[in-house]
Chains A and B, each alone.
Chain A
């Protein structure tokens, strides 16, 4: 296999370079984060504060905080209710293509996996979106694999334009773009961008991302900032927990979001919390364990660091966990998720990226929320273009 870019810090042609100031700060914090130095007293002190510093956040992710999960949950619930009441936003994802030019060792869509690839035509996108909207959804997340060649910005733009006919809120989870490209998609109706750094450990990043644009660490790191420069309203952060040391990665995710919010105070910040799930051809991997208890510690720490941020709970998690964290710390949940290409209007057209653990549709998720005294929110934004 040929490595097209050996140095993960080296940009490829056409990639926009912006300031590395936030990346350098996060990198320094990440490298110096020793979670073993934190004590019970540090955790208690953090839980007593209204507004947490990154130092307090570091304590909440430490082993010392393990015995305080219940107290963290109580604080998190209080903050979640203060900021969101009993509202929980409900959305669904649509994969429009799964072609990929990156080789990410852990991913089911990676370019070395011989899986069934597919890409929806404009008519198929319209049919899928119409079928989703008919179910009652008003928020859609459009996803592609990491292939600029197959799923171009123009192609994604067409999907956004179609989505605008049916949805009040459009998010995109695609390969990172330059700010002018984000501005283009924003002008068509997309307002929210999700990009996950996977791991903030550069050495591990290099080992896991063997080729393709995704191998360029700083270009991916700065995607949220370029999206905001391009006029997007909100950006989502996350690491693939379990790929490396989850405490350090979760710490870096929080610090990344913290500095972005500080530099762009208007930005709507959100977090997703994926962890390693089974996938094909993975026998050589040995991910560090992130059990539900550890995942919950991360989610609660996100909530306490940024009480105002949206926290989304993945369909990778089983229903009992999702039902437990929604309203406690998470205020956004997907329903009726399909992780192959299409699938809302007839059969899926490509293989799935990962296994989902909660196949419930919109009606069942609504029922669960209402039984918990929560209210599903379908629309929480207003088009102004």
Chain B
């Protein structure tokens, strides 16, 4: 396990859990980060009240890699401008690309995401695009220079778990980049399930933010992600998904 590092954009991470930060009080940020033992935290640039009160950037310890997201962007052009602004205010080169043109379901626009990925990757950004798990779009993101792909498990904020499991499995088979499940994970067992499938990392926010005790839930996610990763590396034992084996062989009549 010592060598089992998550590598993105030339950086190595021991933690495979990425924390979203938009839905709980900033005063809990430090203890949630500590309890989750995360090394990467997403930040919505639009929440960065630079020079004002409750500035999220003031609450994240310096040893944490900031993953500024482009939330609020509806088009590639808007996302590119937000990413550039994030870099200008000192958030670094990592960017979680998030382009959403639908206020109801908050589903990512894969086409716009591919366009923005290409532009930002060419400008030296480490682009981690949030996407709907579509194989063609994922391939296009690889070609465009993405450093990871972040398929949704189910729509943002729904806590419905990994409804897109079969499609994420296809990405795992076909895409040679870290696959990070980004949205919909509602409970630690689902984080473990994603990790057992072989995804490189998971991200969660709502599931922790809406818990009765955010610190305890942060720790629970940390443990679940570790357990899921260990299970994946160990190689899962044989699990029969739908049928039992007949006790008498069906081919027992064969004689020669």
B123 at the A/B interface (Cβ < 8 Å)?
no
B85 at the A/B interface (Cβ < 8 Å)?
yes
B78 at the A/B interface (Cβ < 8 Å)?
yes
A residues 125-148 with Cβ under 8 Å of B?
Answer: 136, 138
Knowing A82-B157, A82-B159, A85-B206, the reply to whether A381 touches B104 (Cβ < 8 A) is: no
Complex: A83 Cα to B155 Cα, angstroms: 11
Q: Which residues of B contact A276 (CB under 8 A)?
A: none
A86, B52: Cβ atoms closer than 8 Å: no
Other-chain contact of A382, B85, B103, B106, B210 (Cβ < 8 Å)? B85
Question: Which of B22-30, B138-146, B222-230 lines the interface with chain A?
Answer: B22-30
B209, A265: Cβ atoms closer than 8 Å: no
A379, B206: Cβ atoms closer than 8 Å: no
List the A residue with the shortest CB-CB distance to B208.
Answer: A85
A378, B210: Cβ atoms closer than 8 Å: no
A residues 201-241 with Cβ under 8 Å of B?
Answer: none
Q: Which residues of B contact A82 (CB under 8 A)?
A: 157-159, 206, 210
B52, A136: Cβ atoms closer than 8 Å: yes
Other-chain contact of A269, B23, B24, B25, B103 (Cβ < 8 Å)? B103
Q: Indicate with 1 or 0, residue by residue over A288-311, a CB within 8 angstroms of chain B CB atoms.
A: 000000000000000000101100
B103, A265: Cβ atoms closer than 8 Å: yes
Complex: A267 Cα to B74 Cα, angstroms: 10
Q: Which residues of B contact A315 (CB under 8 A)?
A: none
B103, A261: Cβ atoms closer than 8 Å: yes
A37 at the A/B interface (Cβ < 8 Å)?
no
Other-chain contact of A375, B26, B72, B74 (Cβ < 8 Å)? B26
B49, A138: Cβ atoms closer than 8 Å: yes
Q: Which residues of A contact B103 (CB under 8 A)?
A: 261, 265-269, 308-309
A13 at the A/B interface (Cβ < 8 Å)?
no
Knowing A265-B104, A308-B103, the reply to whether A378 touches B206 (Cβ < 8 A) is: no
* Chain A interface, number of residues (Cβ within 8 angstroms): 31
Complex: A306 Cα to B206 Cα, angstroms: 18
Q: Which residues of A contact B122 (CB under 8 A)?
A: none
Q: Indicate with 1 or 0, residue by residue over A68-96, a CB within 8 angstroms of chain B CB atoms.
A: 00000000000001111111000000000
Question: Which of B40-48, B171-179, B232-240 lines the interface with chain A?
Answer: B40-48
A375, B46: Cβ atoms closer than 8 Å: no
Q: Indicate with 1 or 0, residue by residue over B87-112, a CB within 8 angstroms of chain A CB atoms.
A: 00000000000000111101000000
A115 at the A/B interface (Cβ < 8 Å)?
no
* Chain B interface, number of residues (Cβ within 8 angstroms): 32
A48 at the A/B interface (Cβ < 8 Å)?
no
Q: Which residues of B contact A382 (CB under 8 A)?
A: 45-46, 72, 82, 85
Knowing A85-B23, A86-B23, A384-B82, the reply to whether A378 touches B104 (Cβ < 8 A) is: no
B205, A375: Cβ atoms closer than 8 Å: no
B residues 100-131 with Cβ under 8 Å of A?
Answer: 101-104, 106
Q: Could you tell me the dominant secondary structure of chain B's interface residues?
A: loop
Knowing A136-B52, A265-B102, A266-B101, the reply to whether A381 touches B46 (Cβ < 8 A) is: yes
Q: Which residues of B contact A370 (CB under 8 A)?
A: 25
Knowing A138-B49, A379-B48, the reply to whether A85 touches B24 (Cβ < 8 A) is: yes
A136, B102: Cβ atoms closer than 8 Å: no
B53 at the A/B interface (Cβ < 8 Å)?
yes
A87, B23: Cβ atoms closer than 8 Å: yes
B47, A384: Cβ atoms closer than 8 Å: no
B22, A87: Cβ atoms closer than 8 Å: yes
A361 at the A/B interface (Cβ < 8 Å)?
no
List the B residue with the shortest CB-CB distance to A262.
Answer: B104
Q: Which residues of B contact A379 (CB under 8 A)?
A: 46-49, 52
Q: Which residues of B contact A380 (CB under 8 A)?
A: 44, 46-47, 72
Q: Which residues of A contact B104 (CB under 8 A)?
A: 261, 265, 306, 308
A242 at the A/B interface (Cβ < 8 Å)?
no
A44 at the A/B interface (Cβ < 8 Å)?
no
Q: How far is the CB of A238 from chain B (nearest CB, A)?
A: 18
List the B residue with the shortest CB-CB distance to A234.
Answer: B103
Complex: A85 Cα to B52 Cα, angstroms: 21
B45, A86: Cβ atoms closer than 8 Å: no
B54 at the A/B interface (Cβ < 8 Å)?
yes
A64 at the A/B interface (Cβ < 8 Å)?
no
Complex: A82 Cα to B158 Cα, angstroms: 7
B52, A138: Cβ atoms closer than 8 Å: yes
Q: Indicate with 1 or 0, residue by residue over B27-71, a CB within 8 angstroms of chain A CB atoms.
A: 000000000000000001111110011100000000000000000
Q: How far is the CB of A128 from chain B (nearest CB, A)?
A: 18
Q: Which residues of B contact A278 (CB under 8 A)?
A: none
A376 at the A/B interface (Cβ < 8 Å)?
yes
- The residue among A138, A306, A373, A382 with the most chain B CB atoms within 10 A of its own CB is A382
List the A residue with the shortest CB-CB distance to B25.
Answer: A375
B81 at the A/B interface (Cβ < 8 Å)?
yes
List the A residue with the shortest CB-CB distance to B45.
Answer: A382
Q: Which residues of B contact A84 (CB under 8 A)?
A: 23
A83, B47: Cβ atoms closer than 8 Å: no
B81, A384: Cβ atoms closer than 8 Å: yes
B residues 1-40 with Cβ under 8 Å of A?
Answer: 22-26
A29 at the A/B interface (Cβ < 8 Å)?
no
Q: Indicate with 1 or 0, residue by residue over B184-215, a CB within 8 angstroms of chain A CB atoms.
A: 00000000000000000000011001100000
Complex: A306 Cα to B106 Cα, angstroms: 12
Complex: A209 Cα to B189 Cα, angstroms: 58
Give me the 6 closest cross-chain CB pairs, A-B, nearest first. Answer: A85-B23, A85-B209, A382-B46, A375-B25, A265-B102, A82-B157
Residues of A in contact with B (beta carbons under 8 Å apart): 81-87, 136, 138, 168, 261, 265-269, 306, 308-309, 370, 373-382, 384
Q: 6 pairs across A/B with beta carbons < 8 Å?
A: A85-B209, A136-B52, A269-B103, A308-B103, A375-B24, A381-B46
Residues of B in contact with A (beta carbons under 8 Å apart): 22-26, 44-49, 52-54, 72, 74, 78, 81-82, 85, 101-104, 106, 157-159, 205-206, 209-210
